[in-house]
Structure 1
Amino acid sequence: QKTEKMSMHPQPEPVSVLAHLVKEEPKPTGLEIAILHIEEDNGGDLDTYPTNAFAKVGVHLGINGSDLPRLARDFQREYKSLRSLFKAEDYCMLDHTEEGADLYRENLRPLITRIRDATTCLLLVCPDNSTAWADRRRVVLNLTADENHAVGIYKEELTFINLLFTQHSKAPSSWAYRKWIFGRLIDQFSKPHGVIDTEHQWTELFERIKEEVRVCISVAEHFPKNYYSWTHRNFVSRLAYQTWSTNVLNAGTGASNSGSHLLFNFLEDEVNRIEPWLMNHVSDHSAAHYGAEVLGLLLTFGLRDDGYTGDTSLPAQEWGLSLIGNILASSRTAFEHFQFHEVIWIWRRLCGCLFLKIIDGKLRQGAVTKVSSSYSRAAAQEFTKNEVIDLTENFNKQLELSKSCFTEDEKRLARKHSAAYSLWIFRQIVLCQCKDVIGDLSEAQGHVHKLISAMHDDETIVHNIRVYLPALTKSL
């Protein structure tokens, strides 16, 4: 009876017009809220509201900024009028058997459609309305009760959020909702048996994961330094790993051979994207931290006794040390142009930390073959030479040789970041538990002593590094 009363309430025109434009083919892929200049025959904005509040050209949807307050009020009014009824009907459904609930849900379809339209319109102008997102979750749960339609509904929701992100890319509630939707979509790949057991399923799953990464890249390109985009990308990478790991647990290693190859290639591609990105976005701290997260994930995967390290014949831990060594060697070329950017030093610091974790065995899982002492000792000594001795010895010389390239402020920043990195990385080496692998540190210690002596009289060194000096000197 409540549903019948609701169906008699006509949908407000602003909601019906915008909802139609969102659903109409070609579906919009870009949203912009701006002052729309629309020629009018009869004159007067109020007479043409809400028709002239929107404009759609191809796949581009515009909302007139002048009408935004009025639209927000109308959308909010429609949403609130439906919300209490929808919530009550949703609770009533709990009193029915499964078969009765399906029938009851079908009778509620008009109401569900109405509130989905209402939240679509409201969220396009007020993207951080957490209550609206919560009700949209309830709508999705009702629409996906039939598993046959679930994948299609999830894809529609992701398409809607893609549109929303073209205007509102840093709304936390929208990213939280996207995580929820994407997680449920990935869960569909293991149904109905709880495992992914065919190569075709794995291929489809990773195509969907790569598509999600492409969305994150697009958002980060158009809206720089987007913490939420990088956090979501980290969630996607971890979800890929967890899906593979759970599948191995449920089905055994043999059932996930295809998944192992695809997961390794995906994580490796993600690691390889970071340095080029940092070269073009030298102030993007989130990118550097995401790079370390996904590199750590790749190493954790490769160092498992059921992991995979690609087409290399190296033992797992030698592969890991070689991988980070190559990344550190490659990153040194970035310092020729970006020595004064903190993010580049942070990226190097995070990679160095992972290198030492492999030496210490902190990334091992399972009965991994022990890395040969000769290889690990050589790798550790080369690491100390490159990151402490060569850096402290040659860095100031390189700055002097490049006088014409850098301003005094840039050289000051470069000295500050170099000093902080050298002291920090040497401290991590000293604290490393595998003393037999690290070997003699006397030469590196001498260079650090010289650096400390020079820093005491260097006004470019920030206060927190000065505070750190006595503790480091004592540890030596």
Structure 2
Amino acid sequence: MLGITCKPSMEDETLAKAIQRELCFVDSILNSPLHRQTKSPTLWHHRYWVLWKFYPSVSQSSGMTADRTLEDHCNSFLRRDLLVITAASERHPKNYYAWLHGRKLVHLISSIVQGSDSQKLTLENLLSMTCHATYSWCLQHPSDISGWSFLEFLISHPYCDSAIYSQIVTDTLQWALNLNWRQEAVWSFVRTAIAVEKGKSNVSCSTWLAQLNFHCAETSVPNPRVVSTRAWIN
């Protein structure tokens, strides 16, 4: 359906402009300093409804003819929404509704690319971009548990490269150990990721256990977060 080539009609162009204006208006509220507007479930649901209701038809009218073009289009789409989500999450930390929108967006993107000739590769590339962008944001906002929860959702996606999963967990664990980090959000992410991976890869769990054991051996008073995380593996 999305691969059909057609010249956008005047009605299609008018609709596309109207949608862009609506999204810009909603985004200006979601990213504003107005009290509680950044986490309004009504506004986030409306924004998603606009995308869910109109995005497929607008994409079809844009004349995409190849999967690579589709991937570029979805990549731009995801990047724009990530900017809105992260900006809203900086205005209102631990913004559950903003990150919930991100989850729904990933499902929407999956449905958009479904059936394309390179569906698996397209989703892998899009998830890789989203994982790294989200991970970078989480490291800058390490106490935001909603951001880490979204990252866990991304790396656990069936189409996410397992190497990304292992690398992000390994890097996050080492980062937390180096800083002797004690806030719960980061360790909650690490423990959850380890618990999910434990039944899949003994190699990864052995690596993480070695990191934790080395830290405990080198520290006279081990971080209680480290001790509890090590217990998850053992």
TM-score scaled by length of structure 2: 0.78
1:175 aligned partner: 44
Aligned residue for 1:424? 232
Does the 8 A contact of 2:128 with 2:164 survive in 1?
no
Cα 1:160–1:275 change in 2 (3 A) is: closer
The question of 1:328 aligning with 2:169 is answered yes
Displacement of 1:274:
3.7
1:41-80 CA-to-partner distances (Å, cap 9, x unmatched) read xxxxxxxxxxxxxxxxxxxxxxxxxxxxxxxxxxxxxxxx
Aligned match for 1:156, one of 7, 16, 21:
21
Task: Name the residue aligned to 1:386.
Answer: 207
Largest Rg, 1 or 2: 1
Q: Distance in 2 between matches of 1:149 and 1:288?
A: 39
For residues 214 and 387 of structure 1, the distance between their equivalents in structure 2, rounded to whole angstroms, comes to: 32
CA change 1:147–1:346 in 2 (3 A) is same
* Counterpart for residue 105 of structure 1: none
Supply the AA of the counterpart residue of 2:185.
V
- Within the candidate set 56, 81, 88, 1:187 is matched to 56
In the other structure, the counterpart of 1:343 is 185
Percent identity at matched positions?
16
Alignment check: 8 A CA contact 2:120 2:159 kept: no
Equivalent residue, structure 2, for 1:242: 111
Q: 1:418 to 1:196 in 2, by over 3 A?
A: same
Residue pair 1:196, 1:202 contacting (<8 A) in 2 also: no
> Per-residue displacement from partner, 1:291-327 (whole Å, max 9, x unpaired)?
0111122xx125xxxxxx6xxxxxxxxxx2x433322
Partner of 1:276: 136
- Aligned partners of 1:209, 1:276: CA distance in 2, in Å? 15
**Aligned equivalents of 2:71 and 2:58: distance in 1?**
8
For each residue in 1:87-137, what CA deviation from the matched residue of structure 2 results, as whole angstroms up to 9, or x when unmatched? xxxxxxxxxxxxxxxxxxxxxxxxxxxxxxxxxxxxxxxxxxxxxxxxxxx
- CA spacing shift, 1:274–1:347, aligned 2, 3 Å: farther
- 1:266 corresponds to: 126
How far apart are the structure 1 equivalents of 2:183 and 2:71? 40
User: Which residue of 84, 88, 92 corresponds with 1:223?
Assistant: 92
Larger RCO of the pair (alpha carbons < 8 Å, separation 6+): 2
Shift of 1:201: 4.4
How far apart, in 1, do the equivalents of 2:74 and 2:132 lie? Answer: 21
The answer to whether structure 1 residue 289 and structure 2 residue 149 are counterparts is: yes
Q: Structure 2 CA distance, aligned partners of 1:281 and 1:338? A: 16
Residues 231-278 of structure 1: CA deviation (Å, up to 9, x unaligned): 112221221122222xx1xxxxxx433x65443222112212344333
Alignment of 1:454-473 (within 5 A): none
Retained in 1: the 8 A contact 2:16–2:58?
A: no
AA of the residue aligned to 1:223: H
The alpha-carbon deviation at position 147 of structure 1 amounts to: 4.8
* Contact map agreement 1:189 1:205 (CA 8 A) in 2: no
Matched, 1:256 2:117: yes
**Distance change (3 Å), C-alpha of 1:185 and 1:260:** farther
Query: How far did 1:227 drift?
Result: 1.6
Q: Distance in 1 between matches of 2:146 and 2:83?
A: 16
Structure 1 CA distance, aligned partners of 2:211 and 2:70?
49
Secondary structure in structure 2 of the residue aligned to 1:271: helix
TM-score for the superposition, normalised by structure 1:
0.41
Q: After TM superposition, which residue ranges in structure 1, 4 or more long, deviate above 6 angstroms?
A: none
Return closer, same or farther for 1:353/1:175 CA change in 2, 3 Å cut-off. Answer: same
SS in structure 2 at match of 1:169: helix
Is the 8 Å Cα contact of residues 161 and 174 (structure 1) preserved in structure 2? yes
Residues 186 and 205 of structure 1 are in contact (CA less than 8 Å); yes or no, is this contact kept in structure 2?
no
CA distance in 2, matches of 1:147, 1:275: 37
Cα distance, 1:352–1:148 mapped onto 2, change above 3 Å? same
Give SS of 2:182's match: coil
Whole-angstrom distance in 2 between the partners of 1:242 and 1:190? 13
Separation in 2, partners of 1:154, 1:211: 14
Counterpart in the other structure of 1:77:
none
Distance 1:301 1:189 in 2: 26
| Code of the aligned partner of 1:177 | H
User: Distance between the aligned counterparts of 2:59 and 2:133, measured in 1?
Assistant: 29
Alignment of 1:55-454 (within 5 A): 147=12, 149-165=14-30, 166=32, 167=34, 168-189=37-58, 191=60, 197-198=65-66, 199-245=68-114, 248=115, 255-257=116-118, 260-297=120-157, 300-301=158-159, 320=162, 322-334=163-175, 335-356=177-198, 359=200, 380=202, 382-388=203-209, 391=212, 393-400=213-220, 414-415=223-224, 417-426=225-234
> What letter corresponds to residue 117 of structure 2 in structure 1?
S
The residue number in structure 2 matching 1:54 is none
Evaluate the alpha carbon distance shift between residue 148 and residue 277 of structure 1 in structure 2; reply closer, same or farther with a 3 A threshold: closer
